[in-house]
């Protein structure tokens, strides 16, 4: 079945682009390395979520999805890469893109494996690669992954097939293409499918994906998953505070969507604490919303919240000490 899924994914990519697919994963380099604190054995690939990107714009006004996180890791010895995937598409399509980028990074670096650190939809996207090529993955760390789906996506998918739904999908696909263009890439090089993305991160779509790719997903409602499968170490952490800084323009949105995710709270505005559970849970109560988890917008967060840059650096050291 997995071979069939991969064949269909590759076929859909081929139909969705005019030129051969260019992966364009980017390595983060710095002028000086200050320590080897984050120097893992294997390269680290950061995998963005839905609506994500590697970097939009150029210096000095360019914006990184993983704000300030990747350069800090590089300064502390890590070999860090940022994946560039379709901002809106299915787990399988994005997974095929990530698989190609992983193979290219292995060829460039000479490494045998990689460590994935993935946010939101990046979680199941990375799980696809771990299932298709487990011998190339040393660890997979999920940051508020949509492993059991988001009720926000489920609600939006109910309009699919209506005039409003068609308009929303068209607008989202346009935004997806614009995001790719803003990275200096040809929008036609990446297929855009908002409906497929919405289904993949919905509760219903996630259940279907988990039936095919169960690695690391808890078998209970809110328990932990396996700590290791197929030689791959599995970790997760997540935030549970939708509103953290009123100066952050995204906080108002997360405050509203949090009521859809879980009216009692216990979510980051998009993903519930239980849905984010994956493998070994490091922290599932960080004072972050869904954007704070990648240090956005531009580092705005609560004064009570830990600095995401510090948390990722500490996790890289955890991987290093694990021999990964």
- Catalytic-role residue among 54, 86, 90, 120: 120
If phi > 0 it is left, if psi is from -120 to 50 it is alpha, else beta; for residue 78 that is: beta
Which residue reads 């890439």 in tokens?
185
Task: Please say if 248 is a catalytic residue.
Answer: no
Burial degree of 19 (CB within 10 A; 0-12, 13-18, 19+): exposed
Strands (E), 88-192: 114-119, 137-143
Burial degree of 185 (CB within 10 A; 0-12, 13-18, 19+): middle
- Catalytic-role residue among 72, 248, 251, 268: 268
Six-digit token string for 278: 């994956």
Strands 26-28 and 80-82, bridge-based pairing: antiparallel
Six-digit token string for 317: 């050291």
Give the integer Cα–Cα distance in Å for 143 and 234.
Answer: 11
> 74 in helix, strand or coil?
helix
Task: Please say if 290 is a catalytic residue.
Answer: yes
- In 220-233, which positions are buried (b, 16+ CB within 10 angstroms) versus exposed (e)? eeeebbbeebeebb
Task: Please say if 268 is a catalytic residue.
Answer: yes
Give the integer Cα–Cα distance in Å for 180 and 183.
Answer: 5
Give the integer Cα–Cα distance in Å for 323 and 189.
Answer: 36
CA 312-134-40 angle, 5° bins: 30
- What residues act catalytically? 120, 268, 290
């Amino acid at each position: 079945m997995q071979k069939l899924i991969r064949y269909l994914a590759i076929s859909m990519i081929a139909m969705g682009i005019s030129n051969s697919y260019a992966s364009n994963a980017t390595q983060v380099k710095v002028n000086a390395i200050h320590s080897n604190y984050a120097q893992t054995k294997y390269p680290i690939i950061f995998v963005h979520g839905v609506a994500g990107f590697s970097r939009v714009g150029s210096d000095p006004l360019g914006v990184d999805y993983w704000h300030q996180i990747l350069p800090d890791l590089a300064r502390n010895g890590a070999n860090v890469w940022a994946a560039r995937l379709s901002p809106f598409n299915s787990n399988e399509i994005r997974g095929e893109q990530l698989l190609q980028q992983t193979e290219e990074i292995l060829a460039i670096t000479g490494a045998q494996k990689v460590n994935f650190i993935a946010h939101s939809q990046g979680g199941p996207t990375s799980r696809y690669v771990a299932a298709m090529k487990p011998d190339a993955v040393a660890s997979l760390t999920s940051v508020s992954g949509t492993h059991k789906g988001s009720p926000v996506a489920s609600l939006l998918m109910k309009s699919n097939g209506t005039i409003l739904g068609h308009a929303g999908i068209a607008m989202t696909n346009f935004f997806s293409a614009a995001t790719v263009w803003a990275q200096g890439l040809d929008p036609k090089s990446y297929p855009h499918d908002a409906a497929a993305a919405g289904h993949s991160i919905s509760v219903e779509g996630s259940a279907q994906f988990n039936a095919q790719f169960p690695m690391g997903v808890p078998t209970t409602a809110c328990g932990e998953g396996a700590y290791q499968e197929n030689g791959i170490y599995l970790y997760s952490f997540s935030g549970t505070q939708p509103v953290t800084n009123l100066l952050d323009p995204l906080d108002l949105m997360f405050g509203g969507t949090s009521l859809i995710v879980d009216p009692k709270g216990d979510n980051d505005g998009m993903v519930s604490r239980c849905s984010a559970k994956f493998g070994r849970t490091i922290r599932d109560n960080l004072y972050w919303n869904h954007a704070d988890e990648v240090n956005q917008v531009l580092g705005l967060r609560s004064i009570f919240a830990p600095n995401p840059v510090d948390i990722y650096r500490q996790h890289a050291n955890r991987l290093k000490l694990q021999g990964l």
